[in-house]
Amino acid sequence: MLPYSIFLVASGLLLSVAERFWPREARQGFFRLPPDAILPLRHLLELNGLASQPLWLQTLVLLVSKDFLQWLVHNLMHRVPALWQFHKTHHSSTDMDWLSNWRFHWFEIVVYQMVLYVPATLLGFSAEAAFGCAIISTAVGHFAHANLRVRIGFLKYIVNSPEMHTWHHVHPDEGPPDRNFAITFAVWDWLFRTSYLPAEFPRRLGIRS
């Protein structure tokens, strides 16, 4: 049975996201502090008016900052045993295609949203920027999990792709574990030396049963 505390967190996060995208009253803020109390804080956190910046700039800033936080969380999911118990669902497939991007334990959504949603809200990104960011992240995620034998040349240092992400899913008996944590941008793995990209593709995927 789903613990009540987890239900409260998950339902609250779900409704918070829904209210952000489909508000009945668009002027209603996330916090209930008086306007004169929250105004200085919002000016500080909005990075000198980020919400008023062009949509392309908002989307780019949100995409990069969100992706780095996701990279950190993804890294922790492999290194913290309690988190790995949930994340291993995503790695249990022995065959991988774009649909594998949607194979995960529901608790991962709770973890990611707890880390990502509040900063994104406080920084004042528009709903349109959040939507554009979600489209880009999902497209790259589908591509990275796709059953494709492709090489993307120099772009491998920038964006995630099948040639790198299949090695993230390699079976422990066939390659080094805990490498290539990239979600959208591969640059984090190259910068922090968690990248692994040999000439061939892995022969076996999955986890030890």
pLDDT above 70 covers a percentage of the chain that reads 77
What distances in angstroms separate CA 208 from CA 15, 77, 166, 172, 179, one per listed residue?
Answer: 37, 17, 16, 7, 17
Assess if residue 198 is contained within a domain: no
Q: Residue 14: its pLDDT value, please?
A: 72
99: containing domain? 4-191
Q: Answer yes or no: is 206 within a domain.
A: no
Helix or strand (DSSP H, E) at 16: helix 4-21
Average pLDDT over residues 25-34: 55
| Residue 204, domain member (yes or no) | no
Q: Can you tell me the distance from the alpha carbon of 50 to that of 68, in angstroms, rounded to the nearest whole number?
A: 19
What separation in angstroms does the CA of 43 have from each of 16, 40, 78, 182? 22, 5, 37, 32
Q: Determine the number of helices (DSSP H) and then strands (DSSP E) in the chain.
A: 8, 0
In the block, which residue shows the tokens 């880009």?
136
pLDDT at 169 over 50: yes
Segment 67-120, tens digit of pLDDT? 999 999 999 999 999 999 999 999 998 999 999 999 999 888 888 877 777 667
Say if CB 188 and CB 157 are below 8 A apart: no
Integer Cα distance of 128 and 54 in angstroms: 11
Does residue 196 lie within any of the structural domains? no
| Coil, helix or strand at residue 185 | strand
The H or E element that residue 67 is part of is: helix 55-79
pLDDT at 29: 57
What is the spatial distance between Cα 155 and Cα 158, in angstroms, rounded to a whole number? 5
Token code pair at residue 86: 């949930």
Residue 44: inside a domain, yes or no? yes
Mean pLDDT of the chain: 83
Count of alpha carbons within 13 angstroms of residue 150, beta-carbon side: 14
Kindly state whether residue 64 falls inside one of the protein's structural domains: yes
Q: What is the C-alpha separation between 160 and 136, in angstroms, rounded? A: 12
SS3 38: helix
Cα 154 to the center of its chain, rounded Å = 23
DSSP symbol at 31: S
What is the arithmetic mean of pLDDT over 49-60? Answer: 83
Please state the domain count of the chain: 1
